[in-house]
Structure formats: C-alpha cells, structure tokens
C-alpha cells in the first residue's frame, strides 16, 4: 500500500518526514482557502526536498497549474475541485506529469460520472465530500468502493487515522485497484504540522 502525506508545509517537519517516514508522496496544497495553503515563497523553500511532490489544486486555471508544475518540480497534480474531463484532457496535452482526479463522495457514487476521466487520469482519489473541498477529517462509507468498476488505480482518503489500518488491509485484499492511502488532518498537531510519531506508527502497520 502506497502512502501519501498531504498538507505538508514546514521545512523542519518535512525534513523529519523525509528522514523518518519516507512516504511515497508528499502533498502541497496550492489552494488559498485551505489552512494548509503553501504560498509561492514557502514552496520555494521546499524546492530541495527529495520526496515526490503532489500539487493539490481546486478549480485552478490551467496556466497556474502548469507554472506550479514547473516552479516546484511536481511529480503529480491532484485535481480536487470540479475539473471537467475536457480540462483534464487539455492539461494532459500540456504536461507529462501524473494526473489524479479527486472524487468527492457523499451518500453514493455514480460511477458513470467518472467514465469520461478513464484514459485521461493516472489515478482517482476518493475523499469525503465537504464544502471546504478537502481536509475534513471525516470518513465516507468505504463499502461504496466495493463496486468500483474501473481498472484505474485509486487512493483512499478522508479522515484516515491510526485506527483505520485493519479495515484498510481488509479492503486492500478485496479491491486490487486500491493502491494507496492519503493521510492528513488526523496526523496533525496543528494544520500543516504533522505528528511524525503517529505517521511512523501507521506506516509500520500498513507496510511493515
């Protein structure tokens, strides 16, 4: 199971993450309304970080996404708003970076609404629907994922915490497309500041 740690911002915290956790990706949130927002100056300080960086965007212009990819050497782009298949298609023409589309999950999932993204995105990321778009700390009903009909891999997100491990390992056995997890607010001491011990304990259990 791959691990993404999202909402990173503080250089020392990131150094610790790199040294002690070595996640598969680190998420930088380029959405100004998030309490984990990373402005340009801050992102510049993080340029040296060796972990693969995922830029998180909410309904951002294509031009701004492309500038951030270039400026901060992003490995992947996580589209966390209402970006259409046409938007993703255009972005795909302009970058060779991995494209992830977030699916905000409420009471049900209409798989047909995702069909037009298949062939364009490298991965879906399922997160709990919230007015703030992300970082809710709330889980959705994971049973819904058992009818996932596509081959495209996906990442599970939304309120994951230290107690999620057993259920995640069970789900991984049942759904081969589940390739990773995304950790955020439940592993924080403050917004944007991760608790390295909590992350270490989770990672050791999910991938001993």
Residues near ligand LARABZUK, by CB under 6 A: 6-7, 27, 29, 31, 34-36, 56, 58, 80, 127, 132-137, 157-160, 182, 184-186
Is 122 within 8 Å of 92 (Cβ atoms)? Answer: no
CA dist list (Å): 133 to 19, 31, 143, 203? 30, 10, 21, 25
Give whichever of 88 and 105 is closer to ligand LARABZUK, judged by the CB atom.
Answer: 105
> Running DSSP on this structure, what letter comes out for residue 17?
I
User: Nearest approach, Cβ of 116 to ligand LARABZUK (angstroms)?
Assistant: 22
User: Residue 141, Cα to own-chain centre: how many angstroms?
Assistant: 18
Give whichever of 135 and 180 is closer to ligand LARABZUK, judged by the CB atom.
Answer: 135
Which tokens belong to 34? 């998030």
Give whichever of 52 and 159 is closer to ligand LARABZUK, judged by the CB atom.
Answer: 159
Give whichever of 139 and 200 is closer to ligand LARABZUK, judged by the CB atom.
Answer: 139
User: Nearest approach, Cβ of 61 to ligand LARABZUK (angstroms)?
Assistant: 16
User: Nearest approach, Cβ of 86 to ligand LARABZUK (angstroms)?
Assistant: 21
Give whichever of 93 and 136 is closer to ligand LARABZUK, judged by the CB atom.
Answer: 136
Positive or negative, the CA dihedral 129, 59, 29, 37 is negative
User: Nearest approach, Cβ of 139 to ligand LARABZUK (angstroms)?
Assistant: 8
Give whichever of 13 and 184 is closer to ligand LARABZUK, judged by the CB atom.
Answer: 184
Is 166 within 8 Å of 172 (Cβ atoms)? Answer: no
132: three-class secondary structure by DSSP: coil
User: Nearest approach, Cβ of 54 to ligand LARABZUK (angstroms)?
Assistant: 8
User: Nearest approach, Cβ of 132 to ligand LARABZUK (angstroms)?
Assistant: 6
Produce one character per residue of 156-184: b if its CB has 16 or more CB atoms within 10 Å, e if not.
Answer: bbbbbeeebbeebeebbeebeebbbbbbb
């Amino acid at each position: 199971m791959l691990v993404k740690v999202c909402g990173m911002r503080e250089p020392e915290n990131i150094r610790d993450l790199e040294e002690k956790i070595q996640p598969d990706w680190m998420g930088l949130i380029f959405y100004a309304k998030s309490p984990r927002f990373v402005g340009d100056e801050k992102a510049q300080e993080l340029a040296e970080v060796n972990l693969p960086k995922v830029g998180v965007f909410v309904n951002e212009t294509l031009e701004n996404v492309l500038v951030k990819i270039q400026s901060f050497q992003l490995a992947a782009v996580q589209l966390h708003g209402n970006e259409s298949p046409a938007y993703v298609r255009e972005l795909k023409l302009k970058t060779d970076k991995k494209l992830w589309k977030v699916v905000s999950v409420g009471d049900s999932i209409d798989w047909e609404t995702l069909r037009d993204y298949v062939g364009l995105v490298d991965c879906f990321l399922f997160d709990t629907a919230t007015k703030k778009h992300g970082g809710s700390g709330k889980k959705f009903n994971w049973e819904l994922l058992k009818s996932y009909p596509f081959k495209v891999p996906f990442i599970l997100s939304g309120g994951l915490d230290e107690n999620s491990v057993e259920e995640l390992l069970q789900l991984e056995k049942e759904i081969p497309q589940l390739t990773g997890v995304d950790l955020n607010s439940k592993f924080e001491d403050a917004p944007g500041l991760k608790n390295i011990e909590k992350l270490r304990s989770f990672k050791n259990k999910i991938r001993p």
